Structure formats: C-alpha cells, structure tokens
Amino acid sequence: MAEVILENVGKSFGAHSVLSGMNLTVKDGEFVVLVGPSGCGKSTTLQLIAGLEMATEGVIRIGGKDVTDLPPKARNIAMVFQSYALFPHMTVRDNIAFGPRLRHEGKDKIDSEIRNVADMLQIEQYLDRKPKALSGGQRQRVALARALVRRPGVFLMDEPLSNLDAKLRIEARSFLAKMHKDLGITTIYVTHDQSEAMTMGSRIVVMSNGRIEQSAPPLQIYNHPVNRFVADFIGSPAMNFFPVKVADGHLACERIAFDISLPDQLRGIDEGELALGVRPEHIHILPKGVADRENSATFRVDVVQHLGHETLLDLRAGEHHGICRAGAEEQVVPGETRQFEFDIEHAHLFDMTSGMRLTAQLSEPVDVHSTPKLG
Ligand code: ADP
Ligand code: MG
C-alpha cells in the first residue's frame, strides 16, 4: 500500500507562506496530476512529499506511515525532474546502477534489474552511451529507468516532459500512461500544462496561490469547474467570459446585443452583475442572413485561424472579446459581422467578486438559496 495523504499541510519560507491548508489523498495506484500556473506551489508540494523540503505545518503519510519528519530515503519514493539530473560522465548503465550500487545490491541482481527496466523503456541499445549522445526523449527515459530500479511505492514527477518537443511530448504521455497501467505505481505528476493534465491524470488537482481550487476527474473539472479560476485555467482556447446584468428574469450584456432568458432554476436570484462563462465550442456561427435568434449575439470576426481540423474565430463587440470554435471548412472572412448563437445549456454563471460558480451548468437544477449573495 502506498497511499499518500497530506493533512492540513503548510509551508513557509521565513515569513513567506507558499502553501497552506493542503488536504489531499492520493489512493494506492492512482495517477494524480497537480496543475496550476507557475509559482502556485506545485514543486514545493512534491518536494514536501519527497522530503526534500520539510513541512512547516501538518502531517504527511505515505503507505500508512507518518513520514513528516523522515528523510527522503525513508519514504519509499522516487522522483523524476524536468532536468533529468543524469550524471554526464557516466554511461546510461552506470547512471541506472548508481542507486542500487549505493545500496550494496549484488552485481547479478543489479544487472538483471537494469535489463528489466531497459527492456521496458526501450533503451537497451543505449546502455553503453553517455547521456550527451542521447536525444531528449531518450534521456528522459533513462531518468525514468533510474527512478524505476528503486521499485518505489510512489513516483513523483516534476514537469518531466517540459524539455521535449511537442511531438515527443505526446508520445511520452502515452508511454507514461501505459507504464502506469502496467506497473500500477502511485504517481503524483506536476505540470503547468492543462492539456497534459487533462490527458494524463485519472484525477486533476488544480492549484493556485498555494491552495487547492478543485480536485476531480478531468471531464468533471472541464464541465463543472467550481469557480472562475478553474474554468479559465482548464481548456484551450480558454473559456469566454462576458459581464451580464440580471434584471427582470433576463441576462443582458451591454454592447453585445444579447438577451438571454434566465433559466427557471435561477428565477428569484438577486438582481446584479454576473460573469457568463461560455466555452469556445459552445458559441456557434449562424449562416449568413439569419435574423435574430434567441440566445444569439452579434460580433465582428477579427481573426480567422484555420487549424486544419477546426477553425478558431476571434470575436469582438465593443470592448468584449471572445473565441468561437468553428468547423474546419468555415468560410467566414476577417472583418465580417455575423450572428453567433450561445449554447446556453452549457454556459456557466460566476459571481463577479468571489468568482464562485452559481450553477455547474445552466441546465442543472440549483438551490437559489445556497448561491452566493449578489449585489
Ligand atoms: P511551481 O512549481 O508551482 O511553479 P514552486 O513550488 O516552485 O511553484 O514555488 C512556489 C512559491 O514558493 C514561489 O513563489 C517561489 O518563489 C517560492 N519558493 C520556492 N522555493 C523557495 C525557497 N527555497 N525560498 C523561498 N521561496 C521559495
Ligand atoms: Mg515547479
């Protein structure tokens, strides 16, 4: 059992608080991704779990044992860094054997362990090379091999794919996912890249400013973000936000000629200002000449980006800006003014000040008495 539990963990450097009130349980065999903008405390969290930094508050348990005050080697973990941290003067074989030799394992045992991991990571043919004679992707696999021969209870990975080019990164994602499936080692993976988080984790933990904003499976995070920060951070291009006024059972946005009937479940909500969040795939360009339709708005198309499998349209109306994800064959040209329909069933409403979501989606029932007070 190598479950990892953080109980109310905090970390300060002097008077500077970097993490606070972190509560997280990573189940045995789970693959959890910590994601968030640079500086939000992801690496610090991993280093606290590894024992490379000491928590200033709270308790860390690994495999049922309180490891809060234990050194890294007593924690049954292995860590892989973005920099790989390979010894440049040693061959791949010696790099991998370094740990087992330090632990005085027998030569035959070390040789057979190296054969196993080299076979699994497809690096047999490079064992006698030095790291500088390897590509970035190969070096990254050597770093993984070195971590794997420890047979750790927990794998900690800090942006291990950041130094790879885009194509290799996508290959390496599948590779790591397969390795996790085969070995089932509890893995905590850190990235600032939301698409890596969406594709790799069985659970995503979104962080900002040293706190956990939301912890849930990828699609739940995408479809039901708890607040505006998560809604904005996950998804590319990001969710569009428009300020709307609630009055007389309608949502209206100045300068964008739209007027949306408030869904039944939101009737009775206080009048005031809200942010309407709509993902680019939930704004649809209407055929030319289509007259006003319900839940539609007029925008000028500023930029048209043909990506091959889809077309992204930059929309503008006064100071409001948005992005629409249109079909690959969309023929609109920059400068055209068109009507766009909002798929309001999939839109979200956020409180302007707290950023909290009022409803997961407008189609979901909501208890208006539990929503934040607007004003
Ligand atoms: P992330 O990995 O999410 O980019 P980090 O965990 O590296 O973020 O850093 C979080 C915050 O902690 C940053 O503001 C960083 O400057 C600060 N920090 C990290 N390590 C130290 C340190 N040794 N001393 C002081 N501040 C630190
Ligand atoms: Mg970091």
Q: What local confidence, expressed as pLDDT, does residue 363 receive?
A: 54
State residue 374's pLDDT score: 33
Cα(120)–Cα(141) distance, rounded to whole angstroms?
10
The secondary structure of residue 333, as a DSSP letter, is -
Strands 186-191 and 31-35: parallel
Question: Which among 9, 11, 18, 46 is the best mutation to test ligand 1's pocket, defined by most ligand atoms within 8 Å of the CB?
Answer: 18
Among 12, 40, 44, which is best to mutate for testing ligand 1, by the most ligand atoms less than 8 A from CB? 44
List the chain pLDDT tens, one digit each, 375 residues: 699 999 999 999 999 999 999 999 999 999 999 999 999 999 999 999 999 999 999 999 999 999 999 999 899 999 988 777 889 999 999 999 998 888 888 999 999 989 988 888 888 999 999 999 998 888 988 998 898 888 889 999 999 888 778 887 888 888 888 889 988 999 999 999 999 999 998 999 999 999 999 999 999 999 999 999 999 999 999 999 999 888 777 788 876 767 777 767 666 677 788 899 999 999 999 999 887 777 888 999 999 999 999 999 999 998 899 999 999 999 999 999 999 999 888 889 899 889 998 864 455 544 433 333 332
Q: What is the pLDDT of residue 345?
A: 83
Helix, coil or strand: residue 370: helix
Strands (DSSP E) contained in 168-257 are 186-191, 203-208, 211-216, 240-247, 250-253
Atom 6, ligand 1: which residue's CA is nearest? Answer: 41
Q: Could you give the C-alpha distances from 84 to 128, 139, 158, 167, 322, in angstroms and in order? A: 18, 7, 10, 19, 40
For residue 43 and ligand 1, the question of a CB distance below 6 A is answered with yes
Is the C-beta atom of 39 inside 6 A of ligand 1? yes
Substitution site in 11, 13, 81 for ligand 1 pocket (most atoms within 8 Å of beta carbon) = 13
Ligand 1 atom closest to the CA of 38, numbered from 1: 4
Residue nearest to atom 20 of ligand 1 (CA): 44
Residue with tokens 């050194």: 71
Reported as type and span, the H/E element at residue 31 is strand 31-35
Q: For residue 103, what pLDDT is reported? A: 83
